[in-house]
Amino acid sequence: MVMMQPASDGGRGEDLALIARVADGDRIALEMLYRRHAGWLTTRLQARCGDPESTDIAVQDTFLSVWKSAKKFRGDGDVGAWIWGIGIRRLIDVLRKRKATPIDPAFIASAHRSAGGADQPAADDVVLSGGAYGDLATAMHRLPADLQAVLVATAIDGLSTKEAAALLGVAQGTVKTRLMRARRQLQEALT
């Protein structure tokens, strides 16, 4: 197997070539895309739900979707962003099928240590695990998966409602409505 070196364009050209090959049914190209993107995708999805099993299912479903829909990739955006959009939607699908449970801060800390991190978890891990915001994080994790996804995309990832809509594959008005519902439910939970 040929090791892929980052291109001067951050690998965009290689990713575009791989997606084109996947669209033509090349399984080796899919494997190469998986090796390039599964690690960061798993880490980001894991930070959103804290459940390794749900994350694994979402990652598998993501690359199955990449395989099935590679011909639909228009090529005008970043392949990683496209994969992330599919991944977060697959995670939402997985989370809808199970009851929402808060992330265990001990899990985040152990995952951070096993990934070679220091004894202190990263600040975003603390926030996502609820360690920094206590009741707020607990209330947030009790929200339905679709409301959590909108809240994370806008409040934590800093996306605009338009960007969140593109990421989640819904209309911008839907993002605004879900954001309003999420805020209302958080306010009710915290008062």
Give the mean pLDDT of the chain. 78
The full set of domain ranges for the chain reads 11-100
CA distance 32 to 29: 5
- pLDDT tier, 2 (very low <50, low <70, confident <90, very high otherwise): very low
Structure confidence by residue, pLDDT tens digits, 87-102:
988 988 887 776 545 4
Q: What percent of the chain lies above the pLDDT cut of 70?
A: 75
Structure confidence by residue, pLDDT tens digits, 51-90:
889 899 999 999 999 999 999 998 777 898 899 889 988 9
* Helices (H), ranges, the chain: 12-23, 27-49, 52-69, 79-96, 105-114, 123-129, 135-141, 145-151, 161-168, 172-190
pLDDT of 7 reads 37
Domain 11-100 part of CATH 3.90.800.10: no
What's the rounded mean pLDDT across residues 110-120? 49
Tell me the pTM: 0.56
